[in-house]
């Protein structure tokens, strides 16, 4: 028996245009993906590890995060602000009247136009304001993960906490095997291993990152149902994907390949590795040199940390 191929950790080979098209398509749907909502619920069960009650929460790339209601319930007195993905629809101020049916789906999810949370463009996020940055199922949409992590770190106050989820390289392993067996190329871009994500967090200025994962095994009654569900989660955004158009005959072959991978109950099974990440923003450390410059906000944070409590 041939050895299984090694687990691949994603190089930066995402196609930005494919990402934007897929994001726009999902943002136009009536609801965020079911899997995003389930993962948000599981991540919310970990909020008890956050030691300080946040006054301000940034829900990062919140359009597809399915998290607004969970965060509002967990922190009813906090200001929860959605941060929109840069390629998303240009931001408008919240409308005071009730939201009409023509309102874009992502505004309805965030409660814009009602008493719900507000949203801002990523470029408008102020530095050092949030005690919690929350990002659910959005990191794998980032073509430049280290840069996004630095944006998270910048948005937090000192001792602020980061919680995020993303898909790991164990996701859709059986689908990749089917593509490989038939010579179809890749069904998606590789995802980044959680250990590499932990290293990136440290490089971005976070402290004590804690990474863990779980594998969710979802089943469907038919290959067509499974394929329809996958389409609600994105698209093939791998720059190395097949460059032409697939045919109806190829789609039937794909359905046959999925149908050959049923579980003991006769249902089509696909696996999703969910990676959970947690870290906090430490007190900035000034690099010692003949002449050292420290920003005023950083200096205040350093002095406050050294002041005895009463």
For the chain, give every domain's residue range: 16-169+191-215+274-282+293-303
**Confidence band of 302 (pLDDT split at 50, 70, 90):** low
For residues 8-20, average pLDDT: 74
Mean pLDDT of the chain: 84
Q: Which two tokens stand for residue 272?
A: 């999703």
Q: Which of 26-30, 146-150, 193-197, 267-271 has the lowest mean pLDDT?
A: 26-30
Task: Round to whole Å and give the CA distance between 44 and 136.
Answer: 10
3 pLDDT band, cuts 50/70/90, is very low
| Among the listed residues 210, 209, 215, 156, the one whose alpha carbon sits nearest the alpha carbon of residue 191 | 215
What's the rounded mean pLDDT across residues 148-166? 98
CA angle 181, 186, 190 (to 5 degrees): 120
Q: What is the pTM of this model?
A: 0.81
* CATH no., domain 16-169+191-215+274-282+293-303: 3.40.50.150
Count other Cβ atoms within 10 Å, centred on residue 262: 15
Pick 278 or 243 by higher pLDDT.
278
What phi, psi does 261 have (nearest 5°)?
Answer: -115, 60
Give the confidence band of 97 by pLDDT, cuts at 50, 70, 90: very low
Q: How much is the average pLDDT of 250-274?
A: 93
Cα 61 to Cα 215: distance, rounded to the nearest angstrom: 23
Backbone angles phi, psi at 274, to 5 degrees: -100, 125
For residue 49, count other CB atoms closer than 10 A to its CB.
10
Confidence band, pLDDT 50/70/90 cuts, at residue 14: confident
Instruction: Determine what percent of the chain is predicted with pLDDT higher than 90.
Output: 65
**Helix ranges restricted to H, the chain:** 16-27, 34-44, 68-74, 105-109, 145-155, 173-182, 194-203, 223-231, 248-259, 296-306
- Residue range 61-70, pLDDT digits in tens: 999 999 999 9
């Amino acid at each position: 028996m041939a050895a299984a191929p090694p687990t691949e950790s994603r190089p930066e080979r995402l196609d930005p245009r494919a990402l934007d098209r897929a994001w726009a398509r999902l943002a136009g749907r009536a609801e965020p993906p079911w899997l995003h909502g389930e993962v948000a619920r599981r991540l919310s069960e970990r909020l008890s590890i956050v030691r300080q009650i946040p006054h301000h929460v940034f829900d990062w790339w919140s359009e597809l995060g399915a998290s607004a209601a969970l965060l509002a319930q967990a922190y009813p007195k906090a200001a929860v602000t959605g941060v929109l993905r840069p390629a998303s629809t240009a931001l408008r101020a919240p409308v005071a009247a009730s939201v009409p049916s023509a309102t874009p789906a992502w505004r309805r999810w965030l409660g814009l136009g009602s008493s719900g949370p507000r949203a801002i463009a990523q470029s408008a996020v102020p530095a050092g304001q949030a005690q919690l940055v929350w990002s659910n199922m959005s990191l794998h949409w980032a073509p430049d993960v280290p840069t996004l992590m630095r944006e998270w770190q910048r948005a937090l106050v000192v001792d602020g906490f980061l919680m995020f989820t993303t898909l790991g390289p164990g996701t859709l392993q059986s689908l990749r095997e089917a593509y490989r067996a038939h010579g179809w190329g890749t069904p998606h871009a590789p995802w980044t291993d959680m250990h590499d994500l932990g290293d990136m967090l440290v490089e971005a200025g976070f402290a004590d990152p804690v990474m863990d994962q779980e594998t969710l095994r979802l089943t469907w009654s038919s290959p067509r149902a499974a394929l329809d569900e996958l389409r609600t989660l994105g698209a093939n955004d791998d720059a190395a994907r097949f460059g032409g158009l697939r045919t109806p005959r190829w789609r039937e072959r794909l359905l046959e390949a999925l149908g050959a991978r049923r579980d003991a109950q006769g249902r089509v099974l696909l696996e999703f590795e969910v990676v959970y990440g947690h870290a906090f923003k430490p007190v900035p450390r000034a690099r010692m040199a003949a002449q050292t410059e420290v920003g005023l906000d950083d200096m205040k944070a350093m002095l406050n940390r050294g002041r005895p409590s009463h």
